Amino acid sequence: MTVVTHTPPVIGFIGTGHIATFHSKMLKHSGVPLVRGGCFDIDTTRAEVFAQASGSTVMASADEVIASSDMVYICTWTSEHQHLVDACIAAGKPFFCEKPLGVSFEQAKQMHATASSSSLTHQCGLILRRSPAYLWARELITDPAAGAVMSVVFRDDQFIPIQGHYKSTWRSDKEKAGAGTLLEHSIHDVDMLRFLIGDVESVSARATYRHNIDGIEDCVAASVQFVNGAIGTLTTIWHDNLSRPSLRHVEVFCENRTVIIAGDDWFGPVSWSDADGTTGSLEGETLTDKTAPLALTDANPDGAFVRDAASRQPAFPDFSIALEAHRIVEAMYRSARDNGNSVTVASVQ
């Protein structure tokens, strides 16, 4: 095993599509010193476009990217994640793996086990853990003045990403994607339900397949029972309205406070109203400044990963966080396959 170490570190990308471009831009905005290393994609044209925009160098294989990098971004379709994580571990290279970890809960368990035992810095793509909007909402919800949380209504919709600017045609292939909107998109939302409200006790879910794509659900409606007694709903939809951007709308009802996250996932606005008539709203730079002390060491998830990996420190969120989201998602799928009957999350092992 040859471990390459440079200062500043060399960053490699495997997969150069929409999400890789997002992370590349976030790295640029982070201001963290780094060197653009190799990139690889089975679509050579896409890799060349990414390389020209980012300053990376197109390489002939994923193995070449791993060998020449200090740390690696894995931004391929989901079924490729596990063996690429294994390759990074074998080479001793820290890695950032996009969500979901794998095409199944079983695969996610295996990946968590190998990543944890490797002692390498690793991070998963559940970036909303550092979102100013969700960080501030969590502060409002957990404030004792809000009272106990009672209910949450979480809606997430986007056009099915096999079209439009996503161009993720692989998301119509269950062998590559594993499943549809719940796993591939709303694993973010399941993670945010845990982050905002608390651990989930049980779920009941229904799924539909309007696009008639084998194994790829395009709508899921789930009821959620939380350990703390709160209840909620999650509705996630892949439609065909290309004029509508990807949107989340979250309403949290506490005994004495209502909190609403609308608009942008990162910059809000986040609005609230209290039993005494007090109201408020934060968005944009004001929201970012307010939540800066809440965002651990760095609100930029990509800058944080590079810093943590360079200093050989644990990164956040790691695969243990992702695994718990996978567990809840699996419980929802089991319920949907069983006509919506309730499934206890703890039974998913």
pLDDT tens, position by position, 68-82: 999 999 999 999 999
Mean pLDDT computed over 163-178:
94
Into which CATH architecture does domain 130-297+325-343 fall? 2-Layer Sandwich (3.30)
- Which regions of the chain carry the CATH code 3.30.360.10? 130-297+325-343
State mean pLDDT over 181-185.
98
Mean pLDDT value across residues 123-138: 96
Closest CA to 192 of 146, 148, 251, 145: 251
Average pLDDT, the chain: 96
In 3D space, the residue among 336, 345, 342, 338 whose CA is nearest the CA of residue 206 turns out to be: 336
Q: Which pLDDT belongs to residue 172?
A: 97
Asked whether the predicted pLDDT for residue 31 surpasses 50, the reply is: yes
Q: What is the mean pLDDT of residues 305-320?
A: 96
Are 5 and 35 spatial neighbours (Cβ–Cβ below 8 Å)? no
- At 296, the pLDDT band (50, 70, 90 cuts) reads low
Q: What are phi and psi of 201, to 5 degrees?
A: -90, -50
CATH class for the domain made up of 10-127+305-318:
alpha beta
State both tokens at 159.
Answer: 């056009």
pLDDT band at 297 (very low <50, low <70, confident <90, very high): low
pLDDT-derived band at 11, boundaries 50, 70, 90: very high
Average confidence (pLDDT) over 39-60: 97
Per-residue pLDDT, averaged over 125-141, amounts to 96
Per-residue confidence (pLDDT) for residue 343, from 0 to 100: 98
Instruction: Give the helix/strand (H/E) hosting 81.
Output: helix 81-91
The region of weakest confidence among 139-143, 147-151, 163-167 is: 163-167
β-strands 279-282, 122-124: how paired?
unpaired
> pLDDT tens digits, residue range 225-259?
999 999 999 999 999 999 999 999 999 999 999 99
| Matching residue, tokens 């044209």 | 45
Model confidence pLDDT, tens digit, residues 322-334: 999 999 999 999 9
Work out the burial of residue 263: count CB atoms within 10 Å of its CB; fewer than 13 is exposed, 13-18 middle, 19 or more buried: middle
- pLDDT for res 5: 63
Lowest mean pLDDT among 6-10, 105-109, 283-287: 6-10
Q: Where are the CATH 3.40.50.720 domain residues in the chain?
A: 10-127+305-318
Identify the weakest region by mean pLDDT among 63-67, 154-158, 188-192, 290-294.
Answer: 290-294
Which band of pLDDT confidence, cut at 50, 70 and 90, is reported for residue 1?
very low
What is the β-pairing status of strands 71-74 and 279-282?
unpaired
2 pLDDT more than 50: no
Max CA-CA distance within the chain? 63
Residue 31 exposed, middle or buried by CB count within 10 Å (0-12, 13-18, 19+): exposed
Would the pLDDT of 20 be above 80? yes
Average pLDDT for residues 280-294, to the nearest whole number?
94
